Amino acid sequence: MDIKLDPSRDDLPLMANTSHILVKHYVLDLDVDFESQIIEGTIVLFFESGNKFKKQSSSTEETYPSESNEACKFRMPEPCHIPVTNTRTVSSKVGYNDFVICGKGEKDTSGKDGNHDNQEQASGISSSKYCCDTGNHGSEDFLLVLDCCDLSVLKVEEVDVAAVPGIEKFTRSPKLRNQIVRELVALPADRWREQLDYYARCSQAPGCGELLFDIDTWSLQIRKTGVQTATDFPHAIRIQYTTKPQGRSVTWTSDQSGRPCVYTMGSPINNRALFPCQEPPVAMSTWQATVRAAASFVVLMSGENSAKPTQLREGCSSWHYYVTMPMPASTFTIAVGSWTEVKPEICSSNDLATERSFSPFEADFRYVGGCGHMEYPCRFQNASATTQEIIPHRVFAPVCLKGACQETLLPLIPPCLSAAHSVLGTHPFSRLDVLIVPANFPSLGMASPHLVFLSQSTLTGMSQFCGTRLCHEIAHAWFGLAIGARDWTEEWLSEGFATHLEDVFWAKAQQLAPHEAQEQRELRACLRWRRLQDEVRNSPEDMQVLRPNKEKTGHVSDSGSSVIKHGLNPDKVFMQVHYLKGYFLLRFLARRLGDDTYFSFLRKFVHTFHGQLILSQDFLQMLLESIPEERRLELSVENIFQDWLESSGIPQPLQRERLAGAECGLVRQVSAEVAKWVRVNRRPRKRKRKETEEVLEKLLPDQLVLLLEHLLEQRTMNPRTLQRLERTYHLSEQDAEVRHRWCELVVKHKYTEAYRNVERFLQEDQAMGIYLYGELMVSEDARQQHLARRCFELSKEQMDRSSAEVVAEMLY
């Protein structure tokens, strides 16, 4: 990266000029080279432009002022073919040096990271510096701006789609390239197979002219000389490029069995360091990808099909995936590694019948109600799919975790999928792969279309921790993917819903009686209330606001560019405020309306808005309009904005609720156990013979978490008490959430006998261990500080980059 960002204030720029021209489909053709740690190949982009982009006589003013176009020097690239010197690489493509090709007579100013340096940008991000002016200004050429970072772009060319054999079958203008693409992207949903086939054929068509391009820190800018409007700009272009080993969209590492792997890890910069794209969520597109890797590797990807490898030549295989539901490019996910598919030891015929896969269009396809999204093969329109409780699913993991997955994860997927269907209805996606990712994965889970990543931390202890996390990621299929936020600052629309729904799904998956389900939900609400209070005390006020742009939420420049507030702030990765405040808002609404009314509405909302992008007001307005005015109880969109979404701190309605609410039975049981442990801790080493032994109750994992949190509030706890505590509940064998609190207790009271538990946690539960490093250092205990530094030295090379930077700042 060629600029230093201020981690306390930097926003993430979205540079693509999506108001002028939109990518409708991507075709990726890639080779994965583990020797060089790069992904190289081509991407073909198919565009659609609107009527508003026809040539205008007057200039288009931008919402944000921009740098003069004179600052952008465009080059006609001359490809330099460099012979491949490493014969062990899997790639069949010609190799290239890691630099941006410059025109004849011009100096390569790319620097070692391949980006053209712009010294003005070194001062940080601002709307004036990072939102390019791409409108029409008299005789100036139209400028296509794509989001791009940490990539070496080698060549950009127009694709001659008119040269594709048979293209005349579905176009009225077989010689007009842009018209061919317009008609291709506009094919009706029931011709999706034909459409994908022609996308693939067009992507392999010859080039018909190289295009001028330049690249800066955050974008790739492309022109065609003499083309002044988006309508006339080539609607199919091919970009040849390579990623970089240090690129921030993918992580090259080793799995738990020590084998190399690479995966997208949900980077703050999304996928722009994996392929040039349009990042703004409004740029909803479909994609297909062919990925080649050594035959020993498995390629998993966001795709509707369960891809199988095709043997190309000795030692090399090819994998092909596709998606027909338009979604933002940020949701594209890939993982390549020596994964093992984990299969159940016994598979019943009933399971097979329930999980039968449905193609987007089958003989029994019939409309069951209109959809509001753009046309695509929608499962909500497929009568068979709407009744499918359990979609086909697979589990992949490193070979060393196969047994743990068979025991813990695999049995949970069918009941969790069935529970989700019972609450929300039709599964938006036709299948699901679940991958246990390497230990350096920086969170507990991540959902993308057809593919969920789970941390290895979810596999320890009882099934609850794994089950609730799985339910959270399954919920994202509806909220976060099928229904996305139009403005990424409104994360609560994804995370708040998933957090609220995980409890509902999990209770149904366990088939709990209503009273038991309510008790468990209240216990988890108590835990989240404590975390929210802690978060509010220890985070900047401006990062506690769920709708920071207020009335400007969803606004972009005339070109479509914008910035995501706090998008590059590393502290934001570790914050839970959007999860917690969003959860409590939805819980407040459900309690106010009643569960039956609320979840009935939620199903209606999902049916109305799936396949679309929303803002907070879309949800709230529809919710309030769905209930009679006399039952709204003074609720209004404006009040909810003011109390919950546009204020920092604890919302007033939530404070009143928590003060008035009585403790549930499970919480009262924990309070009684805390009192027992306080008495145990106060007893002298030599007790009187008549004293009775405390009878300790068995506790659920969430109760154990709450117990340990209360004990953390005790000023002192002696080693004898801590030893008994560990033995009573077998704390080192519990799930990661319980073990995390146990480690905090060990650190606070310098219980040296259990330092091995802390070391294990820092190594194996990296997604949750960041704050433990801080607590080890804050203690100013030499032994604890040495432990922290030793663990970091052992894991820093494999650790997620952002996490490693945060920990290094704590330690040194």
Positions annotated as catalytic residues are: 473
CA distances from 663 to 518, 658, 666 (A): 12, 9, 8
Alpha helices in 683-718 (DSSP H): 701-712
d(C-alpha 258, C-alpha 400), whole Å: 10
Structural contact between residues 730 and 738, judged by C-beta atoms closer than 8 angstroms: no
Alpha helices in 646-754 (DSSP H): 652-660, 665-682, 701-712, 719-729, 736-748
Q: CA angle, 464 as apex, 461 and 467 as ends, to 5°?
A: 115
- Please list, in sequence order, all residues whose beta carbon lies within 8 angstroms of the beta carbon of residue 72, skipping any fewer than 6 positions away: 143, 214, 221
Calculated CA dihedral for residues 133, 134, 140, 141, nearest 10 degrees: 150
CA distances from 214 to 74, 223, 414, 441, 557 (A): 5, 9, 49, 33, 22
Taking only Cα atoms into account, the Rg of the chain, rounded to an integer number of angstroms, comes to 28
Calculated CA dihedral for residues 25, 27, 32, 33, nearest 10 degrees: -110
d(C-alpha 127, C-alpha 91), whole Å: 40
Q: Looking at the DSSP assignment, which residues form a beta bridge with residue 334?
A: 301
Structural contact between residues 584 and 146, judged by C-beta atoms closer than 8 angstroms: no
Calculated CA dihedral for residues 710, 535, 502, 393, nearest 10 degrees: -110
DSSP, collapsed to helix, strand or coil, labels residue 338 as coil
The sign of the CA dihedral 249, 325, 502, 528 is positive
DSSP string, 380-426: GG-HHHHT-SS--EEEEE-GGGHHHIIIIIGGGHHHHHHHHHHHH-S
Structural contact between residues 788 and 777, judged by C-beta atoms closer than 8 angstroms: yes
- Please list, in sequence order, all residues whose beta carbon lies within 8 angstroms of the beta carbon of residue 652, skipping any fewer than 6 positions away: 643
Q: Looking at the DSSP assignment, which residues form a beta bridge with residue 615?
A: none
d(C-alpha 330, C-alpha 278), whole Å: 9
d(C-alpha 600, C-alpha 15), whole Å: 39
Calculated CA dihedral for residues 605, 606, 607, 608, nearest 10 degrees: 50
Q: What is the DSSP code (8-state) at residue 63?
A: S
Q: With CA atoms as reference, report the closest residue to 614 among 807, 796, 480, 765.
A: 480
Q: The tokens 């007790």 sit on which residue?
A: 687
Structural contact between residues 298 and 307, judged by C-beta atoms closer than 8 angstroms: no
d(C-alpha 362, C-alpha 462), whole Å: 41
Where does residue 15 rank: exposed (0-12), middle (13-18), buried (19+ CB within 10 A)? buried
d(C-alpha 180, C-alpha 200), whole Å: 14
Q: Tokens at residue 159, please?
A: 């694709």
CA–chain centroid gap for 315, Å, is: 32
Q: The tokens 């069951």 sit on which residue?
A: 368
Q: With CA atoms as reference, report the closest residue to 299 among 261, 260, 335.
A: 335
d(C-alpha 357, C-alpha 401), whole Å: 27
DSSP, collapsed to helix, strand or coil, labels residue 188 as coil
Q: The tokens 């390579």 sit on which residue?
A: 242
CA count, 13 A, side-chain hemisphere, 382? 21
